[in-house]
Amino acid sequence: MEQDKRLAATARLLEVMNTLRRECPWDREQTFESLRSNTIEETYELADAITDANMEGIKEELGDLLLHVAFYSKLGEEAGAFDFAEVADALCDKLIYRHPHIYGDVHANTPDEVKENWEALKLRKKNRKSGTLGGVPRSLPAMVKAYRVGEKAAATGFDWQRREDVWEKVREEIGEVEAEMKSGTAADLEAEFGDLLFALVNACRLYGVDPESALERTNKKFIRRFNSMEERAAARGHALHELSPERMEELWQEAKNEE
């Protein structure tokens, strides 16, 4: 019964997509290229809902992303390239291929072992010319890309032998940033900051921390406390920029202590 419900919902979505593509002026003129930026935006909206633990929002944003899957599949069908069924079947084939510990005779008893097998199978399947890092999307945000690059390199064994060793690299990069601040050019300083950020992203990876989520958590914390500072200053008849650094620090500590 539950399977019938899922199949009916999928069929309804595809029929709605057919109708919109046929009858709606806006939907009729869309292309792969015109939808691309919208797809990226929807992905970020889903990420926001996940960060906020908003289950209703997650459901809604998943629906928006599913619409894009149906839309791209319809465009592919019209081009004679692929349809929704082929997209779904190709995904199933990929999942079965990359889970030999479920569908084959490979053993993987931990999440790390599963991940290692997954990356090895992905590399084997990819065009050899692309290499280990060829599968990292060029359009990924820099921090996410850095994490994926480090992850894929580590799958080949190119990684710190002990995760504690990464801190030596971080300290080295801090020293190089400080040296460039004294005598380097703006371009060299940017390069050294990039190296430092890359080392810190890899430290996050080695300690099982998602750097994007960690930074967004800090962003939200800072925004919350800063807004509180402004409200406290306004309640006392001042704009924040009118206060001394010492007074702003007092308001910051007040906001921090109330959390």
> Confidence class of residue 6 from pLDDT cuts 50, 70 and 90?
very high
Q: Looking at the domain that runs over 2-97, which CATH code has it been given? A: 1.10.287.1080
Q: Using CA of residue 236, residue 239, residue 242, residue 247, what is the dihedral sign? A: positive
Query: So what's the pLDDT on residue 184?
Result: 80
**pLDDT for 171-226, tens place per residue?**
999 999 999 999 889 999 999 999 999 999 999 999 999 998 899 889 999 999 99
Domain coordinates in residue numbering, the chain = 2-97, 213-257
Residue 64 confidence class, pLDDT cut points 50, 70, 90:
very high
Q: How many Å apart are CA 22 and CA 38, to the nearest integer?
A: 20
CA distance 214 to 151: 17
pLDDT (0 to 100) of residue 128: 52
CA–centroid distance for 4 within its chain = 33
- What local confidence, expressed as pLDDT, does residue 1 receive? 65
3-state class of 110 per DSSP?
coil
Of the pLDDT bands very low, low, confident and very high (cuts 50, 70, 90), residue 131 is confident
